[in-house]
Amino acid sequence: MACLPVRVDESSGKGKGLFADVDFDEGDVIFTEEPLVNCQFSWNKAYKYEACEHCMRSLETAEEMCRRLCQDDGLVLPHLECCTVNKSEHVKCDSCDAKYCSETCKSKSMQQYHKTLCLRDENSIKNELNMLEETWKQIHYPPESASIMLVARMIAIVKQSENKVKTIKQMMNFCHQSENENDKIVHKLLGDKFIDQIENLRSQLKDFLYDDSIRDWFSEKGFRSLLALLGTNQQGVGSSSLSTWVKNCDELSLDEKERTKLDNFIDELYEKLEEVSGDFLNCEGVGLYKLQSSCNHSCDPNAEIAFEHSDHKLTLRAMKPIPSGSEIFISYLGDCDLSRSRHLRQKLLSENYLFNCKCNKCEDQANDPDVTSDEEDSASSMDEA
């Protein structure tokens, strides 16, 4: 394995942290990383966002995606050469309808987890998995932020692993506390109102995926720990053939007239997309990333996550100069929430990540009044729904 320009340090007394071993300039790629496990969101799949079962790459062409999202079968995109989707390379599982962007992804999927989760018609697991997903969908409506199917895939990876001890250690190396006893914080996924639903999910998984090597995962305490692991560590993943097409269009060498015409077309296209489909334009899911999960949060981060390869591969880029020896911080909150008051940021972080933020920005705003605006109350209510 190549030597990385970063290191994980657990000696600070506040858990893991990721530190730079070289100087990074603004815009530099700090690292790229593939997940240990990932999956598409259940509702995203139900709404016909077609993604590779393994790497989350969009399987629709940009034109197909736009036609579906705009509800316009006659829509025609210019410069189709800017779309990178090659449907001639797409394949399906030999035994079920799982779709892949390539034979490589199909092979990796089969080797890692798909043998266990293959929805063969003659296999009762098809009904069991469908029931599990439906149970989850009735608990967790869009906008999605988690998936029980990630737990199923984690279990399947362990069941198929040739070195189960090593694989289990990798999975459980993430933070998986369900509550912060010092601060009396319980993860919002595990509140009292979800007790019955959590027990139902645990029972369903245990019935058809039980493995003695991970029997603790199927206990009440162990299953809550797994859900907390997802809630505090999973990273959203997004891919879009449309975004790739737009990016490649931006790089075309065009005269001023053609550039203006294309830019106007893209602007009008996005207006129509927003009008018909809103903000949900990507194939969306979640993944667990070893290095990314070691990054601590700051409300004034010096690095940001992007998905620049049209699949599940994560890129971490420097947002500002990061001297060697400095800690690398990302934000666990979206841009919109970062702009809100310290009071709301603290509330969101405690509910979702079980800590009270003490970053420089929060410390500087420590004496600000804890007054939440109507807009923030509305955002908080949506988050709790």
Question: Per-residue DSSP letters for 277-316?
Answer: HTT--SEEEEEE-TTGGGPEE-SS-SEEEE--SSSS-EEE
Beta bridge partners of 330: 297
| CA–CA dist 355, 351 (Å, integer) | 8
Would 113 be classed as within a structural domain?
A: yes
Higher pLDDT, 180 or 69: 69
45 — phi, psi (to 5°)?
Answer: -70, -40
| CA–CA dist 154, 178 (Å, integer) | 18
Beta bridge partners of 37: 288
Asked if the model's pLDDT at residue 12 lies above 80, the reply is no
pLDDT in tens, 306-348: 999 999 999 999 999 999 999 999 999 988 999 899 999 999 9
Highest mean predicted confidence (pLDDT) among 8-17, 134-143, 277-286: 277-286
Confidence at residue 101, expressed as pLDDT on a 0 to 100 scale: 98
Asked if the model's pLDDT at residue 186 lies above 50, the reply is no
Confidence at residue 287, expressed as pLDDT on a 0 to 100 scale: 96
- Those residues whose C-beta lies under 8 Å from the C-beta of residue 208, and which sit 6 or more positions away, are 124, 125, 128, 129
Average pLDDT of the segment spanning 43-71? 97
**How far does the chain reach from its first CA to its final CA, in angstroms?**
43
pLDDT in tens, 191-239: 666 788 889 999 999 999 999 999 999 999 899 888 888 888 889 999 9
Would 149 be classed as within a structural domain?
A: yes
Would 212 be classed as within a structural domain?
A: yes
Number of domains into which the chain is organized: 1
pTM of the predicted model as reported, rounded to 2 decimal places? 0.88
Would 22 be classed as within a structural domain?
A: no
| CA–CA dist 206, 128 (Å, integer) | 11
| CA–CA dist 234, 309 (Å, integer) | 19
Confidence at residue 356, expressed as pLDDT on a 0 to 100 scale: 87
Instruction: Convert 153-184 to b/e letters by CB count within 10 Å (16 or more is b).
Output: bbbbbbbbbeeeeebbebbbbbbbebeeeeee
Contact 67, 202 (CB under 8 A): no
Confidence at residue 66, expressed as pLDDT on a 0 to 100 scale: 97
Beta bridge partners of 283: 239
Asked if the model's pLDDT at residue 183 lies above 50, the reply is no
Would 74 be classed as within a structural domain?
A: yes
Confidence at residue 184, expressed as pLDDT on a 0 to 100 scale: 40
Residue 91 belongs to what domain range?
37-236
Give residue 373's pLDDT band: very low, low, confident or very high (50, 70, 90): low
| CA–CA dist 136, 148 (Å, integer) | 7
Higher pLDDT, 59 or 181: 59
Give residue 385's pLDDT band: very low, low, confident or very high (50, 70, 90): very low
Mean pLDDT of all residues in the chain? Answer: 89
Segment among 20-34, 108-122, 240-254 with least mean pLDDT:
108-122
Segment among 97-111, 160-174, 315-329 with least mean pLDDT:
160-174
Would 267 be classed as within a structural domain?
A: no
Confidence at residue 380, expressed as pLDDT on a 0 to 100 scale: 46
| CA–CA dist 145, 185 (Å, integer) | 20
Asked if the model's pLDDT at residue 259 lies above 50, the reply is yes
Give residue 175's pLDDT band: very low, low, confident or very high (50, 70, 90): low
Confidence at residue 180, expressed as pLDDT on a 0 to 100 scale: 45
Average pLDDT of the segment spanning 79-91? 97
What does the CA dihedral 158, 212, 178, 56 come to, rounded to 10 degrees?
20
Would 242 be classed as within a structural domain?
A: no
| CA–CA dist 227, 260 (Å, integer) | 49
Higher pLDDT, 182 or 124: 124
Would 209 be classed as within a structural domain?
A: yes
Provide the 10 A C-beta neighbour count for residue 372: 16
Confidence at residue 384, expressed as pLDDT on a 0 to 100 scale: 42
Higher pLDDT, 44 or 196: 44
Segment among 50-54, 189-193, 230-234, 266-270 with least mean pLDDT:
189-193
| CA–CA dist 23, 322 (Å, integer) | 6
Q: What CA–CA distances, in Å, run from 324 to 10, 141, 204, 360? A: 17, 43, 48, 19
Tell me which DSSP letter residue 216 carries: G
161 — phi, psi (to 5°)?
Answer: -70, 140
Average pLDDT of the segment spanning 271-284? 94
Q: What CA–CA distances, in Å, run from 101 to 30, 38, 91, 109, 359? A: 27, 15, 7, 11, 41
Write out the E strands in 158-282. Answer: 179-180, 185-186, 235-239
Give residue 131's pLDDT band: very low, low, confident or very high (50, 70, 90): very high
Q: What CA–CA distances, in Å, run from 296 to 234, 286, 299, 323? A: 14, 18, 10, 17
